[in-house]
C-alpha cells in the first residue's frame, strides 16, 4: 500500500513540476473561449468560418488571437489555441487544451510556423509526451483576432 501511495505521490509531484501544465481538464474550444475575448461556438474546425463577419481574421500572430486549426484525419474536429506571446515572426507561445493528453491544459508552449510561405498555414506544436515539438505538421486557417484587439486589453492581458 505504501508503495502505491508513494508511486502516486511521485507521479503527482512530477506533474506539478511541469511549468506548462494546468490541472483542469477541458476541450480546446471550451478552454479558448474561457481565456480569450473570441467567443465562437461550434467545433474548432468551424471557428474560422463562424468568425467571418464577426471577428477580423488574418495570417499574422497577435497576442490574444486564436490560432484556428483545420480538421484532419488525426484531429477531425480541428483545434484552437490562444496566442500568449510572440517570440518572433515564426515562433509563438500558445495556451491550449486537449493536445498533449486528453483534456490536459498547457500554457506557454511553443508553436512554430513551418509553412513555406511563412503565413502560418502549417505549424508544429510542442507535444508534452515527447518533450519537444511534435513531428506532425498541422494545417491551420490562420488567426482570429478579438474585437478591439488593436490597442485594447484582452482577457489574456488581464489575467
pLDDT one-digit tens code per residue, 76-124: 999 999 999 999 999 999 999 999 999 999 999 999 999 999 999 999 9
What is the pLDDT averaged over residues 129-142? 96
Distance CA 113, CA 121 (A): 7
Q: Which helix (H) or strand (E) holds 20?
A: none
Q: What percent of the chain has pLDDT over 90?
A: 75
- Its CATH class, for the domain covering 20-148, is alpha beta
What is the pLDDT averaged over residues 27-52? 97
Please tell me the predicted confidence (pLDDT) of residue 24: 56
Question: How remote is the C-alpha of 56 from its chain's centroid?
Answer: 19
pTM: 0.80
Report residue 19 as a C-alpha cell.
511549468
**Cα dihedral 14→20→25→26 (10° resolution):** -160
The answer to whether residue 16 scores a pLDDT higher than 90 is: no
Amino acid at each position: 500500500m505504501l508503495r502505491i501511495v508513494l508511486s502516486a505521490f511521485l507521479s503527482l509531484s512530477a506533474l506539478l513540476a511541469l511549468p506548462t501544465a494546468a490541472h483542469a481538464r477541458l476541450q480546446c474550444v471550451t478552454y479558448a473561449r474561457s481565456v480569450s475575448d473570441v467567443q465562437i461556438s461550434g467545433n474548432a474546425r468551424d471557428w474560422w468560418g463562424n468568425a467571418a463577419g464577426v471577428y477580423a481574421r488574418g495570417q499574422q500572430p497577435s497576442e490574444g488571437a486564436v490560432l484556428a486549426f483545420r480538421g484532419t484525419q488525426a484531429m477531425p474536429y480541428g483545434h484552437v489555441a490562444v496566442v500568449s506571446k510572440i517570440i518572433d515572426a515564426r515562433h509563438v507561445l500558445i495556451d491550449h487544451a486537449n493536445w498533449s493528453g486528453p483534456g490536459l491544459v498547457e500554457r506557454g508552449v511553443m508553436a512554430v510556423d513551418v509553412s513555406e510561405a511563412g503565413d502560418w498555414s502549417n505549424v508544429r506544436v510542442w507535444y508534452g509526451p515527447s518533450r519537444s515539438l511534435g513531428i506532425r505538421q498541422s494545417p491551420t486557417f490562420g488567426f482570429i483576432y478579438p474585437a478591439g484587439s488593436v490597442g485594447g486589453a484582452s482577457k489574456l492581458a488581464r489575467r
